[in-house]
Amino acid sequence: MILIDGKKTAEEIRKEISVEAKRIFEKRGSRPHLAAILVGHDGGSETYVAHKVKDCQEVGFDSTLVRFEDNVSEDELLEKIRELNINPLIDGIIVQLPLPKHINEQKVIESIDFRKDVDGFHPVNVGRMVIGLPAYISATPQGIVELLKRYRITTAGKTCVVVGRSNIVGRPLSILLSMKGEPGDCTVIVCHSRTPNIEHFTLQADILVAALGKPKFIKANMVKQGAVVIDVGTTRVPEASAKNGWKLTGDVDFNEVASKCSYITPVPGGVGPMTRVGLLYNTLLAASKKIYQ
Q: List residues near its own copies by CB under 8 A.
A: 106, 122-128, 130-133, 156-157, 165, 167, 171, 174-175, 178-180, 185, 187-192, 194-196, 201
Q: Of 101 and 194, which has the nearer Cβ to its own copies?
A: 194
Is 52 among the catalytic positions? yes
CB of 160 to its own copies, least distance (A): 10
Catalytic residue check, 57: no
Find the catalytic residue in 55, 91, 96, 224. 96
Catalytic: which of 55, 91, 117, 119?
Answer: 119
CB 74 within 8 A of CB 103: yes
Closer residue to its own copies (CB): 43 or 157: 157
Rounded least distance, CB 138 to its own copies, Å: 11
Q: Please give the Cα distance from 209 to 57 (Å, whole number).
A: 31
Catalytic residue at 96? yes
As to burial, measured by CB atoms within 10 angstroms (0-12 exposed, 13-18 middle, 19+ buried), residue 275 is buried
Please say which residue, 194 or 243, places its beta carbon nearer to its own copies.
194
The least distance separating its own copies from the CB of residue 187, rounded to whole angstroms, comes to 4
Active site residues: 52, 96, 119
